[in-house]
Amino acid sequence: MKMKAVIATDSISLLPLRGRHHPFTRPRAATLSVAITAYTIIWGNFAENHINIF
């Protein structure tokens, strides 16, 4: 889970950077980063909690 948390943090930290360089793509970049972060966290938790199923 630590690795996944780092990936999520990186996505969030890249957000202002992308917004500054590409003003018009900022909302799309924000949505994408949030979606990736949420997916990563949810999937990470799901995989850890249901590891015995697989």
Q: In this predicted model, what pLDDT tens digit does every residue of 6-41 receive, in sequence order?
A: 555 555 555 555 555 555 556 777 787 888 888 887
Does residue 54 fall inside a structural domain? no
42: tokens are 């949810």
pLDDT of residue 31: 80
Find the domain containing 29 and state its range: 2-49
Identify the pLDDT of residue 45.
74
Count: domains in the chain: 1
Q: Assess if residue 23 is contained within a domain.
A: yes
Does residue 41 form part of some domain?
yes
Helix 2-21 to helix 26-49 angle (10° resolution) is 180
pTM of the model: 0.35
Rounded Cα distance, 46 and 38, in Å: 12
The pLDDT, as a whole number, for residue 7 is 56
Q: Is residue 14 part of a domain?
A: yes
pLDDT of residue 37: 84
Instruction: Give the model's pLDDT for residue 14.
Output: 56
* pLDDT (0 to 100) of residue 38: 83
